[in-house]
Structure 1
């Protein structure tokens, strides 16, 4: 028999904020359900680990929160601030849900037609159970953004520290690689990745830190990763992509960046031109976020994706777009908040204050060469702001004395 020592950590203050958001959205309540840790949103909000029986928590727009929990797992609920209803049999559970939810419009971690897979978490069978209880279910996507993905002040501070470390590690890696190659030495993608990992550890990014080091055609595979068995040597005349990310600890917020360099004194015109299109696409996305937020106007993830993708398509490289423009960033590298996406999915969620995300357009010419530029943004008090230090304007000519000037 498993013993759960942790107890619920949801506060009355958070419940009050949830009530306000529910009223603004015209919802009767938010229904959270978890079984064996299959809903990280529910587990994260309650502060509970995986448990062996299903639990349901109903946070209403009006009235007292209610937890429906199994009789053998009551210890975690000793600090629960609302009503507690217990069940043992499936018949009891169904009766409790019907009494609680009948005629209600409730939000759950669900996305119609899997439109936003990140929040399409609740199993289909549970949705059937809740609908049979008389509830109308809608997506909790905007609630997830507000109460799971929104950065805390401590999270924001940790992200900004990580952003500087990630920037510095990338640039130091470029310098080291260029020095070895220029002096006639040998270095591979795999070895360079190892240098980056060691540097992350020295500088305090201990959780989830990793990188992609890719040259030429390998960079045309967006999620390429060198291995001990499969990698390329980095040589003079190569185009080099470094994508790297990490965070300080489990509660911290990630930083995620991509940079590009050329192993030579002068970047070839074709490479410079394509990367210039990407930078323009990135900047168009940034400007849309900044201008809308400065004017007090809402902006959704899909609109920002359209802004970036439109520049790439106008430049003649639309067929080489393989992925969305960006992803949510929170305690997870690919977070639960709004993605910058109208390609893989149409993410209509609003970029609300307190959420963060990447802007990372790419052009991938399979079998030839690939390009990506990536920065992070945060929706702060002054609107959308870039948190990545010194965003790249052109491919770095790595053999120059000061390639980053």
Structure 2
């Protein structure tokens, strides 16, 4: 959140980027980045702006009817009030006219997670005499990075959910061996109960999917359409959770109920090797102090799966940002398929690495770990990642 303590660092970043300021905008939750930085809670039903200048104090523009969202705005910082559109546009012009300002804007919608400003608002800001550029790098540096305490929280959650995943898969195998196979939704509930006992939180899920259902990356098990996990199935377990006020850990684990078919092993090895290709690229470039971008890691993973003959069955990006506020965060994505994310992976950002192959009507395979960029090394969670397809 934007605070007097954060302001000097942010203003130095603006100076380094040759920006006159960062212009935040929100209306009815259209810009979660702005709302998060301003500490807004609940619905913001009127347009708001906040201008963070390279020097001097930030200035907010608040609607007269709605002071509530500004409760955490520091008392010594100016807060201008408007009610009509003429006053709003006039106040805005006095702040940004002739200035080069950053906004949550991505040219050509290249990075959808960043592209939060409506076209009409961009037109209004430009008509006020401002030059608008993307806030992409500022978002990475200020909004998406983790603190050391958040990294430690993530690592604890990661080790715990890895244990839960292993327990769930072992339980599925034991149920089959006993002749009483469990349904997907029953295994899902077992995971949720384990999270509750551990004091971990999740917003939805997890995903437990057998064979043909695992070929749907966004499958959701349900008691209304129970599917037993039986001998011969491929089992995908995707689970995510965090400590209260912590950073999410997000993992996917794979198993076979009984000896897997050769085709299953072939796909598993392609996915595992793609995951490791992305991690190796990142690890080597970061250790060497070289610039690396999420799209490059996506390309590395995709090249492996394509070379193995499954390129058309890898439908999604290799990974998503994980930030302090969201599981699917606003920092750099590991993506050169769905979007063109060319942001640098800077120290402090975290993300998933999760290539997958989805053979509709047969089975799907995904292997997911998380990674964090340290000052000179890539930190991967959990500490022990899956190397072989589990057979239970």
TM-score band by shorter chain is over 0.9
Let me know the Cα RMSD of the aligned residues. Answer: 1.7
Shift of 1:209: 5.3
Stretches of structure 2 lacking an aligned partner (at least 5 in a row): none
Pairing of 1:178-257 with structure 2 (within 5 A):
178-208=173-203, 210-249=205-244, 251-257=245-251
Three-state SS of the structure 1 residue aligned to 2:260 is coil
For 1:209 and 1:47, locate their aligned partners in 2 and report how far apart those are by CA, in whole Å: 24
Shift of 1:68: 2.1
Match of 1:6 in 2: none
**Preserved CA contact (<8 Å) 2:157 2:242:** yes
Greater shift in the superposed pair: 299-308 or 127-136 = 127-136
Match of 1:138 in 2: 133
Match of 2:7 in 1: 15
Three-state SS of the structure 1 residue aligned to 2:23 is strand
2:101 to 77, 81, 106: 106
For 1:270 and 1:84, locate their aligned partners in 2 and report how far apart those are by CA, in whole Å: 63
For 2:217 and 2:2, locate their aligned partners in 1 and report how far apart those are by CA, in whole Å: 39
Match of 2:387 in 1: 393
Shift of 1:394: 1.2
CA deviations on 1:11-63 (whole Å, 9 max, x unpaired) are 22311111111122222210011223332211211212233432211112233
Give yes or no for the alignment of 1:154 onto 2:158: no
Normalised by the length of structure 1, the TM-score is: 0.92
Shift of 1:72: 4.2
**Preserved CA contact (<8 Å) 2:233 2:257:** yes
Three-state SS of the structure 1 residue aligned to 2:206 is strand
Stretches of structure 1 lacking an aligned partner (at least 5 in a row): 1-8, 399-405
Match of 2:56 in 1: 63
**Preserved CA contact (<8 Å) 1:192 1:213:** yes
Shift of 1:73: 4.2
For 1:323 and 1:230, locate their aligned partners in 2 and report how far apart those are by CA, in whole Å: 26
For 2:222 and 2:343, locate their aligned partners in 1 and report how far apart those are by CA, in whole Å: 37
Normalised by the length of structure 2, the TM-score is: 0.95
CA deviations on 1:147-187 (whole Å, 9 max, x unpaired) are 11111222212211110111011000011111110111131
Give yes or no for the alignment of 1:376 onto 2:370: yes
CA deviations on 1:248-268 (whole Å, 9 max, x unpaired) are 22x32100000001111x333
Give yes or no for the alignment of 1:41 onto 2:36: no
Greater shift in the superposed pair: 36-45 or 254-263 = 36-45
